[in-house]
Amino acid sequence: MAIAIETQFSFRLPRTSDVLLQFEAAAIPEQTILSANTELSDSEHCARVAAQDDIGERIWLRAGGEFNVSYNAEVALDRQIADLGSLKRLMPHEMPGEAVQYLFDSRYCPADRFQTFVDDTFGNTDGGARIAAIRDWIGDNYQYTPGASGPQTGALDTFIERRGICRDYAHTLVALARASTIPARYVACYAPGVDPPDFHAVAEVFLNDPETEGGGTWQLVDATGMADPAQTVKIGVGRDAADVSFLTSFGANQFLSSSVRVRLLGE
């Protein structure tokens, strides 16, 4: 299966500033970059660095004035999708180092605040079955509302308001999974079928891998229901949105425009 991606966005820097970008599809075993082209405005400095967990790359810039980004890619996907409900939870002492950090609270995902709720609401489930129940609960109880949240909105805010966008759905799922002692991370991604078309966000949870004795597997979960894990192209991962924003400016900036188109190749 192959996915075609077309992305453009523009922003203005009133004075020369450092900027960190992350918008390209990650070159990882489950994703093969068939072709890719990135065009950036001129800058004083431009360098690529590894992103979180070595999934994808970030681009450091030092620039000023109006800055334009254009990215086109074709990506082949070969992701193993498990039956989520059948996967067991790993005990904390069985988890590898890469997963441990995703048990803890983060800026937008205060898991400790949800401990009582998950015990009361999902106490009769465990492992992947609990994650599926959490996903379905969010889908049933939240309203997808563009503009309902902002850059400072966290999982607790969204839990109270019961509305938001993909970022908010993912933060809630991550927080509730961690409150269930299941490692969970935030995934920035591209996926066909996202409405309105935009950068997308889902969660990824770490559960027992039935194919590997004592091993674990990361499984994508989208509480919005818009993205099929088999058709989801990862950009990067992190503890929450703060780790994997497509644009982080270390100085004032004005976002001007963006356009994202994602489709199955051949459509």
Q: What is the mean pLDDT of the chain?
A: 96
Shared-domain flag, residues 63 and 94: no
H or E stretch including 97?
helix 97-100
Does 33 share its domain with 145? no
Residues 213 and 90 in one domain: yes
What pLDDT was estimated at residue 214? 72
Report the SS3 class of residue 41. coil
How far is 23 from 52, CA to CA, in rounded Å? 13
Residue 212, pLDDT above cutoff 90: no
- Rounded to 10 degrees, the C-alpha dihedral 38/39/42/47 comes to 0
Same domain for 168 and 228?
yes
Report pLDDT for 124. 95
Total count of domains within the chain: 2
pLDDT band at residue 32 under the 50/70/90 scheme: very high
In a shared domain, residues 93 and 166: yes
Domain that holds residue 107: 84-243
Phi, psi of 152 (to 5 degrees): -95, -5
Q: 59, 127, 141, 48: which is closest to 94 by C-alpha?
A: 127
**% of residues, the chain, pLDDT over 70:** 100
Q: Tell me how far apart the alpha carbons of residues 184 and 4 are, in angstroms, rounded to a whole number.
A: 27
Mean pLDDT within 196-204: 96
Range with lowest mean pLDDT among 10-24, 87-101, 140-154, 210-224 = 210-224
> What percent of the residues of the chain are helix, what percent strand, and what percent coil, each to the nearest 5?
25, 40, 35
